[in-house]
Amino acid sequence: MSRTLRLTTLATLALATTAAAAHAETIRGVLRYTDADGSAKPIRNAKVEVWRLRPGAVFWSNDLTTATDGNGGLDAPIGFVGVGTKTALRVFATNDAAQVMTQDLLVPFYREPGRPGTEIQRTTATAGDFLDFTFTFPDAWANNHFNIADAIKWARDYAQGRRDPRETDLINRVDVHFNSLNTYYDPILHAVRLDPTFAMDDFTVVHEYTHYLEESIGSFYGIASIHDGCAATTAGVDVRGPGLAWMEGFASYLPQAVQRATGALVGTPVTGSIPAGTLENPACPPTNLPPKSLERPVAGALFDLLDDPNEPFDQLAKRDVEIFQIFDRELDLGWTNPTFDQFGAAWIARGLDAPQFLQSIGANGIFLAGPAPTEFVAYDHAPAANVAVYRSSDARWYVLGGELAPFPWGGVANDIPVPADYDGDGLTDLAIRRTADATWWVKNSANGTIRTFTQGIATDRPLVADYDGDGEDDFALFRANGQLTVFGDTALEQRTFYSFAIPGGIPAVGDFIGDSKPDLAIYEPSTGAFWITSLFGTGGWSFPTVGRAFADDVPVVGDYTLGGKQELAVYEPSTGNFRVLPFIGGTVTATWWGVTGERPVPADYDGDGDTDMATWNPSNGWWYIRTNTGGLRSQQWGTAGDVAVPAP
């Protein structure tokens, strides 16, 4: 064969292949099943076999295996084999997360669209036909199988998206033996076993699947038991303990986490997992066992780290990523069951919100074993402000739920606590301004190192804020003559601003004008007016009156209205009123929230982004907080001589 002839032959074959590909039919449609709530749900990412019976043939042949997409859709081309070809589908309860076996049989379940009525079959009329198999399975037989696969798919995708990035072990597909015997995880066959009672309850399905996750990427030692969240027995023997409590408690927590993240799970009246309402109140009948040895309190404590901060001083929420990563990494211990003590130790070792964590789990009666991990180098990561005091007598910071490490140089009278984020890591650093020698002392949250330096003079007033918008709070001092010096992060960033010397003037800084730039406000108690000017913007001075010229008024600027800027505000100790000016030129509103002797401590205590009115009684340490959503809270924290230092 000549080279020219060979090239011609290859070109002809290429053209023939192209022509054959053009003569293709397309399998289309959307496949759904009926969920427990009556809604039609897509059969997502499911295995589908395309079977065809050619004209004159006796037997059907499996000509294509494909899969639905995330919406249950099919759009698969298949080669044309002749007019009159019949086509049918087999839709499997199989996806990348689960393979559900036919009830009481060890063969993968599938169902043909159209069943239990007449099977849908399409006959080819011409090349290029679009064969539509859209169908919603209506019967319990099909729905039970498809629902199990779908619930596990949601849980597997949730887990895959929250893994510790250092982990490389795989979450493989699990077999589900759908049987009429019992519901449990089988660690011998590494399979989930479910009976029809729970097939449509997604929370039970995910509960049992969680045991598979515990075995495959965490740590698991199967303990067969009859349990209800408080009691657990095997052959009449009490088998409760920290290992079983974690094994089952985490499995009751995870379905709630998946539901919070996806909104996809549907429950039924009969459930094999602890419902959210019970997790909000997880107490068990009196027993001689500690709560961390009981499934329900363990699940409730984990749930409190996930749900909205709607309980007194439980401000941790949406921490499911951290929970799952600890489960995935630190609790991957081998052939055993972890305990809540090990989970708590890992949480603290990661530097995660230790004070509020200990407070939250303590509300569920859970206290970690061993010496109390009471000392930390910073406030926590939670968006809500911590209830905290500084005690100059021993130089310690006491944060509700834990105790921050003391400054090593000891306390000195008249030290001014100035906690702020000086290193830009998102955590509030411990810091003081020492009036005796005009020095700053700062303990960096990133590594616990201490830096100290001298700035200004002893009578300067610290006025810390993020003046340059770089995410780090800047050291700044205000002098009685009206001079504001901002030192910035380096000497090159030092700026000095000059204002009026107002007798008795009290300075504050914030975005009061609404131009996203810091403004200086000086409150004049003798007139009740604020003197305001923009530090980096344009415009002259304005003099809005907010107070009523009471000598003991205290400026308490903050974002009380979620307006995205600070409002001018004054607290009147003589009346207990917070007086807030929503905007310059607006009308002052007065809200009572204080009694004689209390000091104002406004901050964002519920983490919603606005400032809540609050007072603290220095004589007995009681805090009284009124959130802008109407919540009222009280808490004893601190003793006489302390200084209240709420901060996130």
What pLDDT shows up at residue 20?
A: 39
| Closest by Cα among 169, 203, 97 to 328 | 169
What pLDDT shows up at residue 10?
A: 30
pLDDT tens sequence across 307-318? 876 665 566 788
| Closest by Cα among 417, 447, 446, 489 to 647 | 417
What pLDDT shows up at residue 11?
A: 36
What pLDDT shows up at residue 449?
A: 78
What pLDDT shows up at residue 3?
A: 36
Contact yes or no for 445/459 (Cβ under 8 A)? no
| Closest by Cα among 221, 290, 211 to 249 | 211
CA distance 314 to 68: 43
CA distance 334 to 342: 14
CA distance 472 to 425: 8
What pLDDT shows up at residue 1?
A: 35
The sign of the dihedral angle between the CA atoms of 61, 65, 69, 75 is negative
What pLDDT shows up at residue 514?
A: 80
b/e burial code for range 393-408 (CB count within 10 A of at least 16 → b): eebbbbbbbbbbbbbe
pLDDT tens sequence across 155-197? 999 999 999 999 999 999 999 999 988 899 999 999 999 999 9
Report the predicted TM-score, pTM, of the whole model to 2 decimal places.
0.69
The sign of the dihedral angle between the CA atoms of 102, 107, 109, 110 is negative
Q: Which segments of the chain have a pLDDT < 50? A: 1-22, 374, 403
